Structure 1
Amino acid sequence: MLCFELDAEGNLKLLTGEEIIKKCVSEALYALLQIIPTGKVTTYSDLSRVLHIHPRAVAKILSRNMEPIAIPCHRVVRSNGDLGGYTLNGENRRNFKSKLLALEGVSLLGDAKVRKESFINLSKELLLFKPFKKV
């Protein structure tokens, strides 16, 4: 199977095996972010458990998010509740992340930490998810 994407100049580029895997992992991560409810956060570690990658790989992928509001990477924090990083247009905008979370109703301790009641354990929620009813 061949896989292509557009490069910066708009030309088709053939992806290698490793590039295909990276792209699939990124897209899976972005899809997971869409199911985090407004007013809740998850952690880099929790997402890494779901995707079977290192938490730092999660952070690296999120730092490259080109649609930071549509793909809500601001809903991912460190396990201890610390906000972690937030990159917007190539700049560290941690204060912006704090404001976004507050607007969404996330319970914060000051402007640097998230209270535990705002956490959602996605890996556990996905295990409990039952898409079909028994008839």
Structure 2
Amino acid sequence: MTSPPFPIPSRHTWHHHLPPPIRTLLEQVQEAVKHRLNILSVAGLRMLVEAAGKTEAPEASSLRGYLEAFLRRGLIGRRLQVWLLAVVEHGNKAIHESVAVQDEDLDALLLSVEHLLQELYGLQAAVPPCPRRSTIS
């Protein structure tokens, strides 16, 4: 796996916009990634995709359905959808077969889930106004 095609987010500036259960789970997953608990980490990433889907696309009834709904609404692009489907696949393997991804792949999967969460929740904050230009007297 290679790095996902989107920028690396600043980790702690946007968390406060997440719903509390999702924020708590994300922080726990980030901690598991930090300690290289790869099986738990990737299972947690899958849980985050599911939690976001249940919250933001309740009309869908599956992980694939949540991602299709996000794509239809323009909340994610096709490329991010492919990465998130990989998160689901790796998460299922971790849960059912206790198989983990390698460190670099885990980092890329985490980045894709963080990107999803930023798209869904991070941009709900008010846009900061531009500072006024000071006038010189």
With normalisation by structure 2, the TM-score equals 0.24
Relative contact order (C-alpha < 8 Å, sep 6+): which is higher?
A: 2
**Bigger proportion of residues as helix:** 2
**Bigger proportion of residues as strand:** 1
With normalisation by structure 1, the TM-score equals 0.24
